[in-house]
Every structure is written in structure tokens, then in C-alpha cells.
Amino acid sequence: MDKPEIQVDSSEQRIFDAAHDVFVQKGLHGAKMQEIADRAGINKALLHYYYRSKEKLYETVVRAVINRVLPVLRDLIESDKPLLEKIDYFIHLYLQIINKNPYIPLFLINEMNKNQEHFFETIFPNELPKPDRFFQQVHAAVEAGEIRPIAPQHLIVNVISMCIFPILGRPMMRIILGMSAEDMKVFLTQREHEIKSFVHAALRP
């Protein structure tokens, strides 16, 4: 998924694009305001005019990405697509989002742990995906003998965990698996197929 555009003047859009690229590459703590300003083709004073701090700019970038992708996830989760097709597409979409915006999972976890109430008031939109339709589909599939008995809550957590952990734990995974940075990139591109295959096998009755 491409980085979202914000409806602002060209200077602010250049800042946003530059910040997005730097945060993807280096995260919040590794990013420097001077590097963002240089990439945007502006001076640092103008960058601070638009965004008082790196943290404020970071929050703006994350919010823009969330506001673009969340409606897509919501439409999928609340849709009437067949259950396994829905799970497969969710895995595809989720991995696509976090692979292109790898700083987001850690940001979300850190912000929620710091102040959950503030997080949902200022960063997450009010209309979060409603899982009721997905829950109904899981229960119906279990009753029909199409999948093994499983609580839909556990199914959601299992799928998201398999998608997100290699991104959050990338440095640790590289050490444990003895991978180079390039090896890790290849490994992450293989995750979609592996997760889908694992989930399908795990759900067989």
C-alpha cells in the first residue's frame, strides 16, 4: 500500500513524504529532523515551523497511515466474504501494510502502553472494525464441521501474532535464525504463504 497523501501545501507534503521514508528506514529514535528536512528540500527551521517536534511529526505520519488503511480492514472484516477467503485476504493486506510501514506496530504498542485513553482519543479513529460478522462466520463454520472448534477471538489473535511478530522481533529473529539483512527481507516475503498454509492446516476439522 502506497504512503498516503495529505491535503496540504507542497512544502508540507514533501515533509510528510520525507518523514514517512525516514521513519520506515530508521524508526522514531533513529530518525533525525535534519535528515527529514534535507530529504524534503527545506531548511530545518521551516520543518519546525510545521511540526514542533519529531514526535509530533511521527504521530502525524502514523495517524495518516492508520486513517487510510483502517477503513479497508474494517470493510474486509465486516464483509460477507467466505471465511477462509476473508482470512487469506486479511493476512495479505495486513502483511502488505506492515511491510511498507514497519514502524507502525512498535509505535502502536508503545503508545497504547503509555496512555491507552489518550491513544484512542487522539490517534485511532472512532469507527474501529466490528468483529461481530467474523465471529458469526467462525461459529457457523465450526457448527457445520468445516473447521475445528476454535474461539474466533483466539483465531484473530493467532493470525495477527503470526503476521506481526517477525516485524516487531526482526533484530532478535536475525540473531536466532542466523540471517543477514538480505536474508531477512527474503524471509519476510515468504511469510504470507507460510501463514496462510499454517492457518488452513490448523483449522482443518
Q: For 57-81, how does the pLDDT look when each residue is reduced to its tens digit (9 = 90+)? A: 888 887 887 788 888 888 999 999 9
pLDDT at 7: 44
Contact (Cβ atoms closer than 8 angstroms) between residue 141 and residue 148: no
Q: What is the pLDDT of residues 19-56, one digit of tens each?
A: 988 887 787 788 899 999 999 999 988 898 888 888 88
Task: For 147-204, write each residue's pLDDT tens digit.
Answer: 999 999 999 999 999 998 888 888 888 899 999 988 988 898 899 999 999 999 999 9
Q: Is a pLDDT exceeding 50 seen at residue 1?
A: no
- Per the structure block, which three cell numbers stand in for 2? 502506497
* pTM given for the model: 0.76
Q: What is the pLDDT of residue 61?
A: 84
Confidence band, pLDDT 50/70/90 cuts, at residue 82:
very high
C-alpha distances out from residue 26 to 19, 31, 49, 163, Å: 10, 6, 23, 21
Q: What is the per-residue DSSP string for 92-150?
A: HHHHHHHHHSTTHHHHHHHHHHH-HHHHHHHTS-S-PPP-HHHHHHHHHHHHTTSS---
Could you tell me the pLDDT band of residue 103, with boundaries at 50, 70 and 90?
Answer: confident
The predicted-structure confidence for 112-147, as pLDDT tens digits, reads as follows 777 666 666 666 666 778 899 999 999 999 999 999
Domain architecture of the chain: domains with CATH? 10-203 (1.10.357.10)
d(C-alpha 145, C-alpha 204), whole Å: 9
Average model confidence (pLDDT) for the chain?
Answer: 85
